[in-house]
């Protein structure tokens, strides 16, 4: 795998998925191999691979890897035994993180494929699954490129663009979602400045967004999450673009915790606020943000993870939701692979999902 170009890939022998271990960035660009179900679960849960589209693609490739490894271990395995084993592993991986619907979406694509191909021999079932997983992989690349084109017209020379968390190339196979139009504008010679929220508590903005944008030669400045108001009040921010983990039918969008605060501040200062995502992030079964499950994570991520010593008195409790929901009324528009939506979100999102 070429780690300078993609964040994950199926290994050449099809027996593993190679990922950039994002927990090591920006200190070290290390590619690791995942092959066992527990390794995939741990990698997703611990955010070695992260970002809604990337975890979906990773899980789809994982099912293909499990099929190939099961056949290697027992070449006489029946397709029924193989299908049952893979179904069990898909459900296991689905439980690794609850908010990003891309994970459910990609695994349900693989489960559908298992069902429709279960009449085939085990080797043919494995081939079919590998083909489907690679289609999901390629589909992510092409949708992100389309998001870049859909968002590009919004970007003008010398703009200041604020983003939260990391919705860049590391969060997808390539290009990213929120950062995709920015990459394209940069490629086309438009100069701009990106302001990256550091993104407490796991610092995806500071560690990942600042890393990938500066590596690409894009002018980037990191700020603490609480500093967006002063930047906006001074007129430095022309637009906010964030990604999403799940977009409900009415446009309410779950994204990294702090996104909702940012949208409220942007709204106050009348700074346009866009959400960029592929169709796999839209969940029409959730009518509003109230129906989106929010992942709660370990208190230690806030208490001690980035410090030499714990920074919070041991008896104090810690609130650590990984996501919040941006109310649709605060969103100026959606930058989707099918185009830009700036009004009638309900109709537009339903159409985009078709």
Helix (H, G, I), strand (E, B) or coil at 95: coil
Active-site positions read 245
Which of residues 255, 260, 320, 332 is near ligand MRU by CB under 6 A? 255
Which of residues 52, 125, 203, 222 is near ligand MRU by CB under 6 A? 52
Using CB under 6 A as the binding rule, whether residue 204 contacts ligand MRU is answered as yes
Q: Number of C-alpha atoms within 13 angstroms, CB side, residue 255?
A: 32
Measured CA to CA, the distance from residue 287 to residue 246 in angstroms comes to 11
Q: Shortest distance, CB of residue 189 to ligand MRU, whole angstroms? A: 25
Q: Shortest distance, CB of residue 46 to ligand MRU, whole angstroms? A: 11
List the one residue out of 73, 80, 7, 2 whose CA is nearest residue 35: 73
Measured CA to CA, the distance from residue 334 to residue 344 in angstroms comes to 11
Cα distance between the two ends of the chain: 33
With respect to ligand MRU, which residue has the nearer C-beta, 14 or 201?
Answer: 201
Which of residues 47, 59, 231, 341 is near ligand MRU by CB under 6 A? 47
Other Cβ atoms within 10 Å of 326 Cβ, number: 27
Helix (H, G, I), strand (E, B) or coil at 8: strand
Using CB under 6 A as the binding rule, whether residue 200 contacts ligand MRU is answered as no
Structure tokens given for 58: 């990773």
Using CB under 6 A as the binding rule, whether residue 58 contacts ligand MRU is answered as no
Which of residues 111, 266, 322, 349 is near ligand MRU by CB under 6 A? 322
List the one residue out of 5, 348, 351 whose CA is nearest residue 176: 5
Q: Is the CB of residue 122 less than 8 Å from the CB of residue 77?
A: yes
Using CB under 6 A as the binding rule, whether residue 247 contacts ligand MRU is answered as no
Measured CA to CA, the distance from residue 69 to residue 65 in angstroms comes to 6
Q: Shortest distance, CB of residue 193 to ligand MRU, whole angstroms? A: 20
Which of residues 117, 171, 331, 349 is near ligand MRU by CB under 6 A? 171
Which of residues 7, 177, 253, 320 is near ligand MRU by CB under 6 A? 177
With respect to ligand MRU, which residue has the nearer C-beta, 79 or 320?
Answer: 320
Binding track over 83-112 against ligand MRU, x by CB under 6 A: -----------------x------------
Which of residues 61, 161, 165, 248 is near ligand MRU by CB under 6 A? 165
Alpha-carbon torsion, ordered 95, 96, 101, 106, to 10 deg: -90
Q: Is the CB of residue 196 less than 8 Å from the CB of residue 205?
A: yes
Inter-axis angle of helices 52-73 and 37-45, nearest 10: 170
Q: Shortest distance, CB of residue 247 to ligand MRU, whole angstroms? A: 11
Q: Shortest distance, CB of residue 233 to ligand MRU, whole angstroms? A: 25
Q: Which residues bind ligand MRU (CB under 6 A)?
A: 47, 50-53, 100, 165, 167, 171-172, 176-177, 204, 242-245, 255-256, 322
């Amino acid at each position: 795998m070429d780690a300078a170009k993609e964040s994950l890939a199926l290994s050449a022998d099809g027996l593993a998925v190679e990922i950039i271990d994002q927990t090591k960035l920006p200190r070290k660009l290390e590619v690791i191999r995942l092959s066992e179900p527990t390794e995939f679960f741990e990698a997703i849960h611990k955010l070695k691979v992260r970002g809604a589209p990337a975890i979906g693609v990773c899980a789809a490739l994982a099912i293909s890897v499990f099929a190939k490894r099961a056949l290697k271990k027992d070449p006489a395995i029946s397709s029924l035994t193989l299908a049952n084993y893979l179904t069990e592993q898909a459900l296991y991986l689905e439980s690794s993180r609850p908010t990003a619907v891309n994970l459910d979406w990609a695994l349900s694509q693989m489960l559908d494929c298992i069902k429709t191909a279960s009449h085939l021999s085990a080797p043919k079932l494995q081939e079919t699954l590998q083909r489907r997983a690679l289609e999901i992989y390629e589909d992510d690349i092409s949708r992100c490129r389309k998001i870049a084109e859909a968002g590009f017209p919004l970007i003008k020379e010398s703009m200041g663009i604020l983003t939260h968390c990391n919705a860049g190339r590391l969060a997808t196979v390539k290009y990213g979602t929120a950062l995709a139009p920015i990459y394209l504008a940069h490629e086309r010679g438009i100069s701009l400045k990106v302001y990256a929220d550091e993104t407490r508590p796991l610092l995806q903005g500071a560690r990942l967004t600042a890393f990938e944008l500066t590596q690409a030669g894009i002018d980037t400045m990191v700020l603490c999450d609480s500093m967006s108001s002063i930047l906006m009040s001074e007129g430095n921010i022309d637009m906010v673009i964030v990604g999403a983990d799940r977009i409900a039918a009415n446009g309410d969008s779950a994204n990294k915790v702090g996104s909702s605060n940012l949208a409220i501040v942007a709204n106050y200062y009348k700074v346009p606020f866009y959400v960029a995502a592929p169709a796999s992030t839209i969940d029409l079964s959730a009518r509003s943000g109230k129906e989106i499950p929010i992942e709660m994570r370990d208190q230690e991520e806030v208490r001690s993870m980035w410090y030499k010593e714990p920074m919070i008195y041991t008896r104090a409790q810690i609130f650590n939701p990984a996501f919040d929901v941006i109310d649709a009324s605060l969103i100026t528009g959606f930058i989707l692979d099918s185009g830009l939506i700036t009004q009638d979100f309900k109709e537009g999102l339903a159409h985009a999902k078709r």
